[in-house]
Structures are given as structure tokens and as C-alpha cells.
């Protein structure tokens, strides 16, 4: 949380593609739970190539925490790779959804 009178922290956007055994193991719900805990907005979805795609907007520190969580995933997942792209936030999301 920002100090009173401090300029607001600019919002950022993290776009990630997660590869490995990440479908059918609760990965999307894991991401939703983490993102909601961090008060991030955006979405997560399974892709046809067996990856999981994530777009999340929020404070950079919270997005970095989500990025670390993506590398671990839930217990049954086996994350092999996480490709991350940083973007400017659009502010176009009201919640975090799957």
C-alpha cells in the first residue's frame, strides 16, 4: 500500500505462457487463487498447445510475486518453462477470471 501523499504506483501488465504439465492439474485455479489474493485483475486460460496463458494487471511487486508462483504451480503441475512479457496496463479488467 502506498504512503499517504505518495504518488500512486503505476500499474503494470504481466503476460505469461506456462509450459509443462500444466493442464488437468488445477493450474488455472491455482493462478486464480494467487491472483485474487494479490488483488490482480486479468485472466488465465488453457491453450490448444497444452500451455496455460496468463494476463494479469496490478502493482509490479504483486505481479513479480505471481510470476514466482507460476514457476512453482500447484503440487501436481510440472512447470518446464515460463515465458514472461511485461506490458503497460490497460485497466480493462474488473476482476481475475478463468
Give residue-wise pLDDT tens across range 8-54. 668 999 999 999 999 999 999 999 999 999 999 999 999 999 999 99
pLDDT for res 3: 58
Where in the chain are the domains?
Answer: 21-80
Q: Which fold has domain 21-80?
A: Alpha-Beta Plaits (3.30.70)
Under a CB-based contact definition with an 8 Å cutoff, are residues 96 and 32 in contact?
yes
Q: What is the number of other CB atoms lying within 10 angstroms of the CB of residue 12?
A: 18
Angle at alpha carbon of residue 90, lines to 89 and 92, rounded to 5°: 130
Measured in residues, the chain has a length of 98
What rounded mean pLDDT belongs to the chain?
93
Place 74 in a pLDDT band, splitting at 50, 70 and 90: very high
Stated as kind and residue range, the H or E segment containing 29 is helix 27-37
52 forms bridges with which residues in the sheet? 18, 46
Which residue numbers are catalytic?
28, 46
Is the per-residue pLDDT at 7 higher than 90?
no
- Alpha-carbon distance 57 to 19, whole Å? 21
Amino acid at each position: 500500500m502506498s504512503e499517504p501523499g505518495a504518488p500512486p504506483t503505476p500499474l503494470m501488465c504481466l503476460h505469461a505462457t506456462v509450459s509443462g504439465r500444466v493442464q488437468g492439474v488445477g493450474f488455472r485455479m491455482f493462478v486464480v487463487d494467487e491472483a485474487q489474493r494479490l488483488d490482480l485483475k486479468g485472466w488465465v486460460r488453457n491453450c490448444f498447445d497444452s500451455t496455460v496463458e496468463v494476463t494479469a494487471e496490478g502493482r509490479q511487486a504483486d505481479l513479480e510475486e505471481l510470476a514466482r508462483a507460476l514457476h512453482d504451480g500447484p503440487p501436481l503441475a510440472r512447470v518446464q518453462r515460463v515465458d514472461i512479457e511485461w506490458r503497460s496496463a490497460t485497466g480493462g479488467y474488473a476482476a481475475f477470471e478463468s
